[in-house]
Amino acid sequence: MNIALIGYGKMGKAIEEIASSKNHTIVARIGANNWDDLINLDSGKVDVAIEFSQPEAAYDNIIKCLELGIPTISGTTGWLDKKMQVEQYCKDKNSTFLYASNFSIGVNIFFKINELVSQIMDKFPEYTAQMEEVHHIHKKDSPSGTAITLAEGVASNHHAINSWIETDNTSKIEKGQLPIKSLREGEVPGTHTIQYSSDVDSISIEHKAHTRDGFALGAILVAEWITDKKGLLSMKDFMDQRSQ
């Protein structure tokens, strides 16, 4: 498989290492300093583009890949106000696109666990929910895309919760809001904890990434899966196929 890496930071380098170990070929490494290489990319020599860049660059990167007819997966967060435009462009071009807030297989299993727990806790109004997410100090968006996906999973399965709010110890939480506390510490790859608390006890579920390798491996597995497909796809599609 020939891969174009769009974004060549820590995640891009982690993806490259795992791709090489699986005998894939990196045919382009495109960052902020050589964006013209994306414009001039020979799409006939690329099987898939893996886009992990910055929020301000993601939209243009994805649009260009779709324009070139390259199946594209993106894990960049913080640009989703333009996601509907990207999806429509993908349809118009009869191209292939998959966005995920997190490609880690473990995190996507955690998404399903989170939804199940939310369904159960919906029956017990004496428990209130809150979330904490911790990432490295270089992460620009807050809360993380993974935290937002988790919050949406809670809200879609728990009738007492209809939205989320980023909070600190002084924030006022309105009825129906899931508070998310976002911390940025050192080089933490990512920890997400959802807690349900009552007057007598607390129940927590947590996912803790030890390295970026889980995200990178998941991106490669999805890239391998998507190359012969068309249209708008999701991690749910991929996970459903894996669980068959």
The residues annotated with a catalytic role in the active site are 135, 139
Structure tokens at 101: 């807030």
Check: CB of residue 203 under 8 Å from CB of residue 111.
no
Q: Where are the alpha helices (DSSP H) in the chain?
A: 10-21, 36-39, 55-67, 83-92, 105-121, 145-155, 213-226, 235-242
- In 167-190, which positions are buried (b, 16+ CB within 10 angstroms) versus exposed (e)? beeeeeeeeebbbbbbeeeeebbb
Structure tokens at 63: 């649009």
3-state secondary structure of 185: coil
Q: Please tell me what DSSP assigns to residue 173.
A: P
User: 121: closest CA among 181, 201, 208?
Assistant: 201
C-alpha of 220 from chain center: 14
Residue in the structure block whose two tokens are 């333009």 = 82
Contact at 8 Å (CB) between 123 and 160?
no
CA 53 distance to own-chain centroid: 12
